[in-house]
Amino acid sequence: MTHARWISLGLPFIAASLIVLGCSSAGSGDDSGDGSDPSQEEIEAWNNAYEENASGKADSAGCSGVVVPDRGGFNKHIALTFDDGPSLENTPKVLDILARHGAIGTFFINGKNVRTQAHRDLLVQMAAAGHNIGNHSQNHANLAQVSASQLRAEIEQTHQILVNLNLHPRFFRFPFGSSTCSTAETVRSYGYAVTGWHIDSADWCYGAPAGGVGYCAKSTFKYVPDEYRSDMAGYVLSQAKSVGGGVLLFHDIHGYTVSQLDNILTKLEQNGFKFVSLSDATTFPKLNGTSAPQPAWVGTPCKANETCNFSASGEKGYCHMFEDEAGEPQGFCSLACAGYCPDRSGAAPTFCVSLDGGSTGECVSKASDANHQCADLPGTSATRADRYLGSSTAPPATATVCMPPMAQ
């Protein structure tokens, strides 16, 4: 998607009216940038979140607000996420930087920060440019410590803001990632995917005045290595390399984040990372409620041999190409065979047949529920076929397989 450049709207500073436990300067509601140092309670919450994420496994994601169910296999893909906005001062600058990098962002907003029509217009414009708008609660309270009624109020107030703007919110992030099994279940009852992160930029620490803006003090966030105390870009890149991609957490309320974002994204790109949307089900299948993509196997639709990058029984996979009844090119992955074909757990059973009139044998998929009785293999149909024996000692047999028309 082509993104229009975002130009500062020149909108006036608006002071906050409600201070609740928030992300560092988020509690100030200051639209213009960095504010006060995080409280001791906030510091403990962020350090606890780091520990939970570091020790978390995919099967612990059901109760966690930090642990993302997709724990690897990102292939150097990163989803950029921003919490605590919208900020009329900073968010448009973030959007302009994302546009320059062709990147989609997900913005988890606090409802209390949507104070004027200008804020609402900004959210609509963001969504129109392809960005995701998520729910980060109304007041940025620690939702693991509130009553059931307050929890619902925190979810519903921001949810209603987004629904009224026709923004179709899909993702929810707990403030500080602080969740319990019960609170996570409540959030999911609204249709949200609870969304943690893999990489914390620690911009909430770097943007704090403690030690000077641009320096993450050990007393604030103890998990930043000393070599990166004054190097947020280096810290982000080191984490990205260690996990191979994933969900990256920033805050679009911090002026320091804005000042560093372009450099950070450039460094990530220079190191081979690419930016994807949080809704990219290929990168984050579990988060998006889909099954992980299955690796190529016999019967996988293909248009080139490169798709069939597997080997079995001493044979290398390849793409068997053919024309369907309409004359359109189709293909599926196959293996050379005589008598028998290997099977793989989770995939349709296979069968050795001849597709060239009896000269050679090739593995095909049997018609099964795993391929919806061949409906998942374009151009094929469920057909009875004899086993290709070749020089093997396999007994004669027949099976219903997914057969291309030229071989029928």
**Residue 223 vs residues 9, 23, 56, 226, 285: alpha-carbon distances, Å:** 37, 17, 16, 9, 29
User: What is the predicted pLDDT for the residue at 23?
Assistant: 44
Name the region of 240 (left: φ>0; alpha: ψ -120 to 50; beta: rest).
alpha
Decide: helix, strand or coil at residue 282.
coil
Q: Which pLDDT score is estimated for 309?
A: 93
pLDDT at residue 18, as a whole number = 30
Spatial CA neighbour of 88 closest among 312, 224, 238, 253: 253
Task: Give the residue from 93, 126, 117 showing the smallest Cα distance to 252.
Answer: 93
Q: CA 49, CA 108: separation in Å to the nearest integer?
A: 17
Residues of the chain with pLDDT under 70: 1-35, 291-293, 406-408
pLDDT for 370: 83
What SS3 state is found at 108?
Answer: strand
Q: What letters, b where the CB count within 10 A reaches 16 and e where it falls short, cover 67-104?
A: bbbbbeebeebbbbbbbbbbbbbbbbbbbbbbbebebb
CA 74 to each of CA 26, 51, 184: distance values in angstroms, whole numbers, following the listed order: 30, 21, 24
Asked whether 21 and 42 are in contact (CB, 8 A), the reply is: yes
Q: Quick one: pLDDT at residue 24? A: 40
C-alpha to C-alpha distance for 103 and 201, rounded to whole angstroms = 17
Q: What is the pLDDT of residue 292?
A: 53
Q: Name residue 337's beta-bridge partners.
A: 361
State the pTM of this model: 0.68
3-state helix, strand, coil in the chain (%, to 5): 30, 20, 50
Q: Where in the chain is the domain with CATH 3.20.20.370?
A: 24-275
| pLDDT of amino acid 347 | 87
Question: Which CATH code is given to the segment(s) 24-275?
Answer: 3.20.20.370
